[in-house]
């Protein structure tokens, strides 16, 4: 308060600057962790590429070619220097540029995650809001039960159950995904349906529960009670008095849901053999293809950190307390 005379507080600008800096630091730390993590795995790229019958001499030669004989720290620094210039190196397994391997897969993953979010968010948030408004009703109890059920169920199991019922038994959808861009709209709608349904089922439980809690805490506040005493109708209380205040938690929840969706996408891609970034990363770990794993890790971390940042920023922007500085509080 004392500082306001000399220094105009700019809470949002300060927030953006500090979060961008801490986000970049986190990204660098994450790349280091992934690097060390991959190095700790038994075996290396050379072994994975040449197979079990490789001669020690051939292994040695390949290691030298790939630069694997250098110390770990030096390899990391070389990689980091390249990454800072936008050069993520070449895939150790295929010899192609990492960006060339990554980009088509990234597009596929974004398509899957985007389609998932389009269905997941309205269903989960709408369900959560209705469960809170009708607290204690049969709807609320049903939502509570299904949420617990799907929270307790591993993601891959949901995928396999869907495949068993709709692909194997009924034959309505393919069980395996081929590149979705190959044949027209109808073809990729068919491919995407089961993975998207899986994502919605897995993701909704958490989001719905969080939304319900956020709305309930707003409904329990004194200003909602005050509106009730003023004789405001239930409908107006919910739409005008409660929901705007629940907006910032709901925004945070939505964006974090998208971040979690990215994690679920990895699992679902494996289950449906969907050619996305997640499947690429898991396959690359099997090949000890360090550069690709590293780039995938970086991308996932980037998405996660950006989403968290956006969640907090939007929450700030919709909250008058953060947007409008307190002034002349004492008079």
Partner 1 sequence: MATFVLQIENLGIQAKRSTILEGISFDVTPGEIFGIIGESGAGKSTLAMATVGLLRAGCRRVAGSVRLAGKSLLDLSQADLERTRRRKVSYVAQSAAACFNPFYRLGEQVTELAALELGKSRAERQRLAADLFRELQLPDPERFGDRYPHQVSGGQLQRAMIAMALLNEPELIIFDEPTTALDVTTQLEVLRLIRKVVKGRGCGSIYISHDLAVVSQLADRVMVLRHGKVVEMGPTRDLIENPQAGYTRDLVANQTTTSSVPDPAASRPIVSVENLAAGYGRVSAIRDISLDLSSGHITCLVGESGSGKTTLARTIAGLVDLHAGVLRFKGSELPGRVERRDSETRRRLQYIHQLPDLALNPRQTIREVVGRPLAKFRGLRGAAAEHRLRELLRDVELPETFLDRVPGSLSGGQKQRVCIARALAAEPDVLICDEVTSALDPLVEESVIKLLLRLMKARPLTMLFITHNLALTRRFAHEVVVMQQGRIVEAGPASSVFSAPREAYTKKLLDSTPLMERGWLEARL
Distances from the Cα of 252 to the Cαs of 149, 247, 309, in angstroms?
A: 24, 9, 10
Which residue of 68, 115, 210, 227 would you call a contact of partner 1, by CB under 8 A?
A: 227
The window from 66-74, 176-184, 249-257, 314-322 that contacts partner 1 (CB under 8 A) reads: 314-322
Can you read off the two tokens belonging to residue 55? 């001669």
> Judged by CB under 8 A, does residue 7 bind partner 1?
no
Q: How far is the CB of 246 from partner 1 (least distance, A)?
A: 10
Residue 56 or 231: the one with the smaller Cβ distance to partner 1 is 231
Residue 243 or 259: the one with the smaller Cβ distance to partner 1 is 243
**What b/e sequence results for 17-49 when a residue is b if at least 16 CB atoms lie within 10 Å of its CB, and e otherwise?**
eebeeebeeebeebbeebbeebeeeeebbbbeb
Q: How far is the CB of 214 from partner 1 (least distance, A)?
A: 14
Q: How far is the CB of 31 from partner 1 (least distance, A)?
A: 36
Which residue of 96, 244, 273, 286 would you call a contact of partner 1, by CB under 8 A?
A: 244
Distance, CA of 263 to chain centre: 5
Which residue of 51, 171, 184, 231 would you call a contact of partner 1, by CB under 8 A?
A: 231
Residue 212 or 241: the one with the smaller Cβ distance to partner 1 is 241
Report the C-alpha gap between 160 and 173 in whole angstroms: 13
Q: Which helix (H) or strand (E) holds 60?
A: helix 56-66
Report the C-alpha gap between 109 and 274 in whole angstroms: 9
Which residue of 8, 13, 169, 230 would you call a contact of partner 1, by CB under 8 A?
A: 230
> Judged by CB under 8 A, does residue 57 bind partner 1?
no
Q: How far is the CB of 222 from partner 1 (least distance, A)?
A: 4
Beta bridge mates, 90: 97
Count of residues in contact with partner 1, rule CB under 8 A: 28
> Judged by CB under 8 A, does residue 5 bind partner 1?
no
* CA angle, 41 then 46 then 49, to 5°: 100
> Judged by CB under 8 A, does residue 306 bind partner 1?
no
Can you read off the two tokens belonging to residue 72? 């770990």
278 phi/psi in degrees, rounded to 5: -65, -45
What percent of the residues of the chain are helix, what percent strand, and what percent coil, each to the nearest 5?
75, 0, 25
Can you read off the two tokens belonging to residue 209? 């529960």
**Contacts with 318 (C-beta within 8 Å, 6 or more apart), sequence order:** 244, 247, 248, 251
> Judged by CB under 8 A, does residue 331 bind partner 1?
yes
The window from 176-184, 206-214, 253-261, 313-321 that contacts partner 1 (CB under 8 A) reads: 313-321
> Judged by CB under 8 A, does residue 233 bind partner 1?
yes
Report the C-alpha gap between 128 and 139 in whole angstroms: 10
Q: How far is the CB of 62 from partner 1 (least distance, A)?
A: 59
Q: How far is the CB of 233 from partner 1 (least distance, A)?
A: 6
Contact positions vs partner 1 (CB under 8 A): 2, 221-223, 225-234, 236, 241, 244-245, 319-321, 324, 326-331
């Amino acid at each position: 308060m004392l500082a306001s005379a000399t220094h105009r507080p700019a809470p949002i600008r300060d927030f953006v600057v500090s979060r961008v800096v801490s986000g970049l630091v986190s990204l660098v730390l994450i790349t280091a962790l992934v690097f060390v993590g991959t190095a700790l795995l038994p075996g290396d790229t050379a072994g994975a590429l040449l197979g079990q019958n490789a001669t020690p001499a051939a292994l040695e030669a390949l290691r030298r070619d790939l630069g694997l004989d250098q110390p770990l720290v030096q390899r990391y620094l070389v990689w980091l220097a390249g990454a800072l210039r936008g050069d993520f190196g070449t895939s150790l397994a295929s010899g192609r540029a990492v960006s060339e391997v990554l980009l088509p897969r990234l597009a596929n993953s974004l398509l899957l995650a985007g389609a998932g979010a389009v269905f997941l968010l309205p269903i989960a948030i709408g369900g959560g809001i209705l469960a809170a408004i009708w607290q204690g009703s049969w709807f609320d109890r049903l939502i509570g039960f299904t949420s617990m059920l799907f929270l307790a169920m591993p993601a891959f199991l949901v995928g396999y159950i869907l495949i068993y019922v709709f692909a194997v038994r009924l034959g309505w959808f393919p069980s395996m995904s081929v590149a979705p861009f190959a044949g027209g709209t109808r073809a990729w709608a068919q491919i995407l349906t089961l993975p998207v349904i899986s994502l919605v089922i897995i993701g909704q439980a958490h989001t719905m529960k969080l939304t319900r809690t956020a709305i309930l805490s707003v409904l329990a506040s004194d200003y909602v009670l005050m509106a009730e005493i003023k004789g405001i109708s239930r409908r107006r209380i919910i739409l005008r008095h409660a929901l705007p205040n629940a907006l910032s938690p709901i925004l945070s929840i939505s964006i974090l849901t998208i971040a979690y969706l990215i994690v679920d996408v990895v699992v679902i891609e494996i289950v449906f053999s969907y050619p996305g970034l997640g499947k690429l990363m898991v396959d690359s770990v099997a090949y000890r293809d360090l550069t690709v794993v590293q780039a995938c890790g970086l991308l996932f971390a980037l998405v996660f950190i950006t989403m968290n940042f956006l969640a907090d920023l939007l929450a700030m922007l919709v909250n008058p307390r953060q947007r409008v500085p307190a002034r002349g509080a004492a008079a």
